[in-house]
Amino acid sequence: MRRVSEHRLHCNKKFTSFLPDKHFSQGLQLQITIGEIDLANPEIEITGRVMFYHLLPGEQKICKDHSLSKHDFVNGPFIFEVNTGDLVYKVSTALYFKIPEGVNPNIRQVLTDIQVLPKLDTVDLTGEPLDFVQNLRALNPEKFLQLISRDLEALEASIDVGSQTFFKKWAIASQIINLAGCGMIPTSHISLAAERYSYPYAKTKERLGLNEEIIL
């Protein structure tokens, strides 16, 4: 998937939205390039926001956003990546400009599928449901394997007392399937996901409207 929005600015603001045909991929990258403008000019100011709107089970909507300034574009395109794209129902940007008269910068925005490689050794899995998914997917395969091999009962105990328990169990099962499918952890762990999470996995997948091929 590759979506491109390119416009020459003739006012002081630009709003853009990207919508999926059905669902975005898990890994998404948004790249914003502002060309034909002298960003070293102190008279020029740029502010804005990037917003990734997520939909969780129960129609719970969460916006993850990032503020923008002129400094984000000085050294090249602004790039923002997420590993929760399969939960995103809209990506929006809002850009505001203070520019001299006659300056009409070109704004190019590209949203593409990417593979976001998990690479963190430690993550916080005690936060809100969306943060749980984001951090779980960011954990490198070796540490994730240690988590499900040694500390799974403690993890389950912690998520059973919070909100969106089924959703979090779906996230664990989904990550086992993803990493096993890529050869990053042994495929034998898929049976663990099937044994412990088949029902919450199936129910959450149904509530999210995700048409994943694998059925536990």
Q: What is the pLDDT of residues 108-121, one digit of tens each?
A: 999 999 998 889 99
Is the CA virtual torsion 209, 211, 212, 216 positive or negative?
positive
Q: What's residue 117's pLDDT?
A: 83
| Partners of residue 43 on adjacent β-strands | none
- Which positions ≥6 away from 216 have C-beta within 8 Å? 173, 177, 190, 193, 194, 197, 198, 201, 202
Mean pLDDT of 146-157: 93
For domain 2-113, the CATH architecture is: Sandwich (2.60)
Tens digit of each residue's pLDDT (9 = 90 or more) over 32-72: 999 999 999 999 999 999 999 999 998 899 999 999 999 99
Q: Is residue 190 very low, low, confident or very high in pLDDT (cuts 50, 70, 90)?
A: very high
Is the separation of the CB atoms in 24 and 83 below 8 Å?
Answer: no
- Which positions ≥6 away from 40 have C-beta within 8 Å? 74
pLDDT at residue 174 tops 50: yes
Among the residue ranges 24-28, 64-68, 77-81, 116-120, the one predicted with the least confidence is 116-120
Tell me the C-alpha distance between 174 and 40, whole Å: 46
Domain with CATH 2.60.120 in the chain: 2-113
Q: Is residue 215 very low, low, confident or very high in pLDDT (cuts 50, 70, 90)?
A: very low
pLDDT at residue 161 tops 90: no
The fraction of the chain above a pLDDT of 70, given in percent, is 96
